[in-house]
């Protein structure tokens, strides 16, 4: 049995770190603490809870040591304090690059094709073009502010491209929205 702390990622893969290793890195420009094993960024107020829970279960003395090792940088205190990078930046190392979609008419972004299609019908009914992009965000659960990255890593969805919604798709999406609103 190993004496090193085991970190189990969301994919179920166990990562073992020696006493001097830590699965954290600092993104000083934006104030984020990056959890390397899960590819998300956190403010100072949330990283301790993240490391203490599933999938990590890191003991308190080790969490304290890892956070002290990152000092003296100033980190964002809360989720709202995390700065969001500009669109078109290179990916932040350690943060997941996700295949996603961006509205060409506003700043709406999502990883879901269904969600972008619904957005287009609801918000821009006469405009049907959106684009496929590579996105990053600090954490989809708590800080889902996406930014577009110029990724050198291609996903299965390929490079950025424009997609359109035809009239029949728009009608079906609109019917789906209406049914959800009336509870059917």
Question: pLDDT tens across 43-95, in order?
Answer: 988 998 999 887 888 888 988 888 888 765 689 999 999 999 999 999 999 99
At 163 the three-state DSSP class reads strand
CB-based contacts of 4-8 (< 8 A; 24+ apart in sequence) = 5/58, 5/59, 5/62, 7/37, 7/55, 7/56, 7/58, 8/55, 8/56, 8/57
pTM strictly above 0.85:
no
The pLDDT of residue 155? 46
- DSSP bridge pairs for 13: none
Domain ranges of the chain: 6-81, 98-182
- DSSP bridge pairs for 132: 101, 161
């Amino acid at each position: 049995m190993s004496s090193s702390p085991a970190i189990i990622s969301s994919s179920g893969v166990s990562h073992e770190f020696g006493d001097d290793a830590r699965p954290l890195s600092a993104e000083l420009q934006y104030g984020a603490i990056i959890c390397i094993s899960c590819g998300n960024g956190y403010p100072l107020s949330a990283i301790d809870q993240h490391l203490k829970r599933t999938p990590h279960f890191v003991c308190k003395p080790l969490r304290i040591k890892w956070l002290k090792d990152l000092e003296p940088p100033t980190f964002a205190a809360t989720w709202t304090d995390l700065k969001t990078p500009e669109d078109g930046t290179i990916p932040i190392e350690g943060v997941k690059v996700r295949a996603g979609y961006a509205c060409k008419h506003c700043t709406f972004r999502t990883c879901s094709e269904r969600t972008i299609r619904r957005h287009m019908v609801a918000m821009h009914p006469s405009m049907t073009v959106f684009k496929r992009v590579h996105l990053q965000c600090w954490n989809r659960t708590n800080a889902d502010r996406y930014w577009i990255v110029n990724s050198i890593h291609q996903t299965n969805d390929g490079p950025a491209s424009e997609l359109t919604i035809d009239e029949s798709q728009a009608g079906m999406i609109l019917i789906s929205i209406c049914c959800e609103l009336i509870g059917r």
